[in-house]
Amino acid sequence: MNKNAKIYVAGHRGMVGSAIVRNLEKKGFENILFRNSKQLDLRNQQSVQNFFYAEKPEYVFLAAAKVGGILANNSYRGEFLYDNLMIEANVIEAARLTKVGKLMFLGSSCIYPKLAPQPLLEESLLTGPLEPTNEPYAIAKITGIKLCDAYRHQYGCDFISVMPTNLYGPNDNYDLKTSHVLPALIRKFHEAKKRGDNEVVIWGTGSPRREFLHADDLADACVYLMKEFSDYGFVNIGTGKDISILELAHLIKDVVGFEGSITHDRSKPDGTPQKLMDVSKLHAHGWRHQIGLSQGVQAVYNDLSAQEWF
């Protein structure tokens, strides 16, 4: 990518989009296009096409999506399917019409079958039923991958897809009702420390294993693959390493400096025993993560501690 190339980052306010913007700016890319949802409704086909014809971006990072936790995904199934289908279809079609040089579509690890073998290989896509609670979101993301592949086949578009693992980092969601496990634990331990509590309760046994990637590492992988990858299918982006929820809780406890104990609410579910990505394809393309989990959590906590609301 030429440093003067016009680059559109869809979803630049989110954790992923903002990380991609930081990475591009750090590498000297200055011609970056932004539009928030009030300025441009990506669900509106005409608005999206007008924007693309007016701005003519050369590269597109499609990180915009309607996202939420299990409760939101399961409660607003129609909304999650419709909004995400519209966003990706409108952006991908406008990119084709205006001859965008290259587009990257970002998906989610929830695209994999609920019972897919671990670690998750790219080839496992569509080999079994999805997790029912987030099926509409997963179907929308699978459609985005297939749309990029179909446009590559029919029109010769250089449209690619990547699938990130569980992410954390700046601009994450720390609402205890809707956040994912890592930011939720940071918030729990921090508030327990402030109150002087003797314990922090975690859900289940703590035995499920999860993989975590810092958003800045994901962004670096995305910018790297935008240059280096051009093919059908998609590339998993992760660390290839996982950690139990209990180990994660102890790591966060140490970072926060909480001196109480960790106890378990065994009435709460454990969830899937393991979710780990196979990153052989990513490594074969020459990219590996740089930010270790302890280092990343410490950086996130330092940043949060400096913010007034936290």
Q: Do residues 239 and 212 make contact, with C-beta atoms less than 8 angstroms apart? A: yes
| pLDDT above 90 (res 270) | no
In tens, the pLDDT along 113-128 reads 999 999 999 999 999 9
Please provide the CATH number assigned to the domain covering 181-208+242-275+295-305. 3.90.25.10
CATH class belonging to 7-169+212-240+277-291: alpha beta
Q: Which of 223, 204, 214, 201 is nearest to 300 (CA)?
A: 214
Q: Which of 204, 121, 164 is nearest to 287 (CA)?
A: 164
Band (pLDDT 50/70/90 cuts) for residue 84 is very high
Residue ranges per structural domain of the chain:
7-169+212-240+277-291, 181-208+242-275+295-305
Q: Strand 209-210 relative to strand 166-168: parallel, antiparallel, unpaired?
A: unpaired
Q: Strand 209-210 relative to strand 243-244: parallel, antiparallel, unpaired?
A: antiparallel
Strands of 101-230 (E only): list them. Answer: 102-106, 159-164, 166-168, 199-203, 209-210, 212-214
Instruction: For residue 112, indicate whether it is catalytic.
Output: no
DSSP, res 52: H
| pLDDT above 80 (res 184) | yes
Residues in a beta bridge with 274: 209
pLDDT above 70: percentage of residues in the chain: 100
Binding residues for NADP(+): 11-17, 106-109, 141, 164-167, 180
Which range is least confidently modeled, 10-14, 51-55, 174-178? Answer: 174-178
The catalytically annotated residue of 59, 137, 151, 168 is 137
Q: Strand 7-10 relative to strand 32-33: parallel, antiparallel, unpaired?
A: parallel
pTM for the full model? Answer: 0.95
Band (pLDDT 50/70/90 cuts) for residue 185 is very high
Q: Do residues 100 and 115 make contact, with C-beta atoms less than 8 angstroms apart? A: no
